[in-house]
Structure 1
Amino acid sequence: MARNRYYQGPTSDHFDGVRFFNPGQPSTDRGLRALLRWKLAGGAARWPAAVPVTQATPEAAVAGLRVTMVGHASVLIQAAGMNILTDPVWSTRASPFARLGPKRVTAPGIAYEDLPPIHAVLISHCHYDHFDVATLRRLQADHAPLFALPLGNDAILKAAVPDARCVVGDWWDRLVLREGGAGQGIATTLTPAYHWANRWPSDVRMALWSGHWLHTPAGSVWFVGDTGYGDGAIFTAVADRLGAPDAALIPIGAYEPRWFMAAQHINPAEAVRIFRQVAAGWAMGIHWGTFQLTDEARDAPRLALATALSAAAIPPRRFVAGHPGEAHDVTPAADEG
């Protein structure tokens, strides 16, 4: 019988004792036949080898709420004096191999040496385009941040970075990132996602995947993580349990072909649907334009997002496609006026 190498715990509605799964949703597992059908179809658009980036130099601390796009799912969130990174990847490739795998076409929007002090890192899952051991080792050596991860991912991190400080949880668990009285604490709630995870073919779905809902004195930020749309129930649950985020970081890329990707990655129209479903104050589209993972053209997510926003009569300023190096100050809805 298979044994989970990363996590041992009780069964639940999304863990069968060995593997995690998306309850009531289409399977994300794809065999060799499906993979060959996709790749042999030859439908991948040609991407540019490089796209120019104007890198940002962040302030050491921000009293309010600011998000700066680094690239793909890597975002710097600065809130109430705390600096937090999501799924940081500064490596050239999203791969276990130095010379093989998807190569980035945009430089990071912040040079690694220009990072402010990093206090916490939010990890959504262990796929290589989100969980980059080389970057995590550098961050540990230079900043010693607190890492917040879903179940099982801590074992992967500790194997590579033994002295990493970790807080770990299941869907809906609230993890404290900074203690503080009088409303000055900062925490993340792990939110469900319809996805999957692995590092190798032998460990499929042995570590959990999630989003992160960041609670801060300067406002709330929902880092959605990788997800399909499925029946949409988890997004209704997020809105019911946590309310409307001031800012949402929503994936808009890596979605074609739909027959292969729909169960695991939303497309821009579904991203707009989620934006409306949770009544987000503002959103930035992430997970596009850095690594070519799927068939669509590099700019297709940006263009499809604009079309979807127009169809929904949503002003484009409320949901922007994030470009590396761009920083956005977010005003919480309660402070607008």
Structure 2
Amino acid sequence: MRNVFLGGGRPKRRSRWRYALGVVGLGAGVGAVLTWTTTDGLQSLGARAEGARLERMQASPRYQDGVFLNTAGATLPRNGPDWGTLKELLFGTQQRTPPSALPMERNVAAALAKPPESGLRVTWLGHSTLLVELDGFRILTDPIWGERASPSTIAGPKRFHPPPLPLEALPDVDAVLLSHDHYDHLDMPTIRALVPRQVKFYVPLGVGAHLEKWGVPAERVVELDWWQEVSLGEGERRLRMVATPAQHFSGRGLTDRDSTSWTSWTLLGPRHRVFFSGDTGLTEEFAEVGRRFGPFDVTMFEVGAFHPSWGSIHLGPHQALKAHEMVRGRALLPIHWGTFNLALHAWDAPANELAAEARERGVSLLTPVLGRPVEPTRERADTAWWSTVRTAAVAGDTP
């Protein structure tokens, strides 16, 4: 069949594919060398579970033959070359990085100094990093202050923007929640920087091995399987944190795929309820989450880094809205977009698609600029700030 993209003629077609594959192969080789020659390349891979930790993993009903499984028949990214995806990667015209600087809250620390009037406030710090202030508790999710979502300091996806809040300016937190061990969610430099704060880390099964290798004391690591929970505080001032299902996968190297678990998180305070998706595809388990714990005052669902060839392990905007409705969410704050180039779509495509469909479906969106604290139950923050980035670039200005 004639390839209209590459033109007719078998020799020309083969030549171009060989060139494309050569470029990809060379890039992979150079990336590998750069990774292993950086100081912490090997350290960032983390560690494998053993001993009592491994026994807890083996007791999970989702752990079989050394790996964790999704419960709903998820399809994972395709193995081997996908020519259509490769063509899109090499020759696609999507603007995958912002054309100019992104708008951010100028003084996040000052905005956070005053407690939330409603008792619930969420600050999006980029990608899936959120500071959730919930009925007197502060919770930090998937913290990444590093420059790259990569084992290397000089190769791999680089941030579009600086963190809107310097790590040293982060207020004291009561817990750090991790969803899984991919590099854009589990950042070794950030974890190491948090060690002196004496905060506890709540993580999926197996992920604690990475943390302990990086200096987190074992007594400050709590691993949970789906539907297990822990509490902070007691009595009327108690926050329940429940590890809830997600549809994804894990791994930090070439040989450890699915060797640790992944999870979403449900936060249940005395007055407010919050859902954090981590990375996930659409799963019927969300209906059970909604039945048990909904409705939620706010949900934070991933909307970016999606592609048909990647199976059903990411939501994208359309399915994020479905998932939000399944868990019985009231307001939706989209995450996992606008910080790293991890996909083939335009950098702002997730926000554009989500906003358009949310209007049609009557879903209340929260889209604050990076670093702006927002109280979901008492204010609106639904401006399409990403469109000003595009407009400013056309005008030759910076927002």
Normalised TM-score (structure 2): 0.75
Out of 237, 257, 266, the position equivalent to 1:184 is 237
Q: Please tell me whether the aligned partners of residues 142 and 177 of structure 2 are also in contact (alpha carbons under 8 angstroms).
A: yes
Structure (1/2) with the larger helix percentage: 2
How much does 1:233 deviate?
1.0
Cα deviations by residue, 1:261-311 (Å, 9 ceiling, x for unpaired) = 341110111111112222212120000010010011111111101111122
Q: Please tell me whether the aligned partners of residues 273 and 294 of structure 2 are also in contact (alpha carbons under 8 angstroms).
A: no
Q: Following the alignment from structure 2 to structure 1, what is the Cα–Cα distance between the partners of residues 340 and 86? A: 17
Out of 33, 40, 48, the position equivalent to 1:5 is 48
Q: Please tell me whether the aligned partners of residues 79 and 216 of structure 1 are also in contact (alpha carbons under 8 angstroms).
A: yes
How much does 1:133 deviate?
1.1
Cα deviations by residue, 1:201-224 (Å, 9 ceiling, x for unpaired) = 110000000001011224111101
Q: Please tell me whether the aligned partners of residues 126 and 197 of structure 1 are also in contact (alpha carbons under 8 angstroms).
A: yes
Out of 305, 309, 313, the position equivalent to 1:254 is 305
Q: Please tell me whether the aligned partners of residues 74 and 311 of structure 2 are also in contact (alpha carbons under 8 angstroms).
A: no
How much does 1:30 deviate?
3.6
AA of the residue aligned to 2:139: I
Out of 369, 375, 395, the position equivalent to 1:329 is 375
CA-based RMSD of the aligned residues comes to 2.1
For the pair shown, the structure with the greater C-alpha radius of gyration is 2
Cα deviations by residue, 1:46-69 (Å, 9 ceiling, x for unpaired) = 312642423412227547111001
Q: Please tell me whether the aligned partners of residues 86 and 121 of structure 1 are also in contact (alpha carbons under 8 angstroms).
A: yes
How much does 1:5 deviate?
3.0
Match of 1:101 in 2: 156
Out of 39, 47, 51, the position equivalent to 2:86 is 39
How much does 1:86 deviate?
0.3
**Structure 1 segment 15-30 matched on structure 2, within 5 A:** 15-30=63-78
Count of aligned residue pairs for this structure pair: 318
Match of 1:335 in 2: none
Normalised TM-score (structure 1): 0.88
Q: Please tell me whether the aligned partners of residues 246 and 331 of structure 1 are also in contact (alpha carbons under 8 angstroms).
A: yes
How much does 1:44 deviate?
6.5
**Structure 1 segment 303-318 matched on structure 2, within 5 A:** 303-314=352-363, 318=364
Q: Please tell me whether the aligned partners of residues 62 and 81 of structure 1 are also in contact (alpha carbons under 8 angstroms).
A: no
**Structure 1 segment 154-233 matched on structure 2, within 5 A:** 154-163=208-217, 165-176=220-231, 178-181=232-235, 183-229=236-282, 232-233=283-284
Q: Structure 2 vs 1, CA of residues 44 and 21 (structure 1 numbering), >3 Å: closer, same or farther?
A: farther
Q: Structure 2 vs 1, CA of residues 119 and 20 (structure 1 numbering), >3 Å: closer, same or farther?
A: same
Matched, 1:276 2:276: no
**DSSP-derived class of the 1:281 partner:** strand
Q: Following the alignment from structure 2 to structure 1, what is the Cα–Cα distance between the partners of residues 93 and 138? A: 37
Q: Following the alignment from structure 2 to structure 1, what is the Cα–Cα distance between the partners of residues 257 and 84? A: 21
Q: Following the alignment from structure 1 to structure 2, what is the Cα–Cα distance between the partners of residues 150 and 305? A: 29
Structure 1 stretches lacking a partner, 5+ long: 333-337
Q: Following the alignment from structure 2 to structure 1, what is the Cα–Cα distance between the partners of residues 368 and 247? A: 22
Q: Please tell me whether the aligned partners of residues 248 and 262 of structure 2 are also in contact (alpha carbons under 8 angstroms).
A: yes
Q: Structure 2 vs 1, CA of residues 60 and 173 (structure 1 numbering), >3 Å: closer, same or farther?
A: farther
Q: Percent same amino acid at aligned positions?
A: 32
Q: Please tell me whether the aligned partners of residues 60 and 116 of structure 1 are also in contact (alpha carbons under 8 angstroms).
A: no
